[in-house]
Amino acid sequence: MSQYSKEELKFVLQALLPLCIIGGLATFLISNSGGFPWFTLLGTAIGLSIIILCG
């Protein structure tokens, strides 16, 4: 695998992993509560994005 392919794969995974985590969390929150907890999902999304950007 060339260096360019590794860099592209790393960028794609950095973009898709947070979306998959938030999607899984949203599915979990929907299944465990009566209504959709928007503030919980929004706060978690902001927190995860800060962790990912700083990490």
Who contacts 36 (Cβ-Cβ below 8 Å, separation ≥6)? Answer: 29, 30
State the virtual CA torsion across 46, 47, 50, 53 in degrees, nearest 10. -90
Interval 5-50: pLDDT, tens: 888 888 888 888 878 887 888 788 788 877 777 888 788 878 878 8
CA–CA distance, 28 with 22 (Å, rounded to integer):
10
Q: Is the pTM of this model over 0.85?
A: no
| CA-based radius of gyration for the chain | 15
Cβ atoms of 18 and 48 within 8 Å: the answer is yes
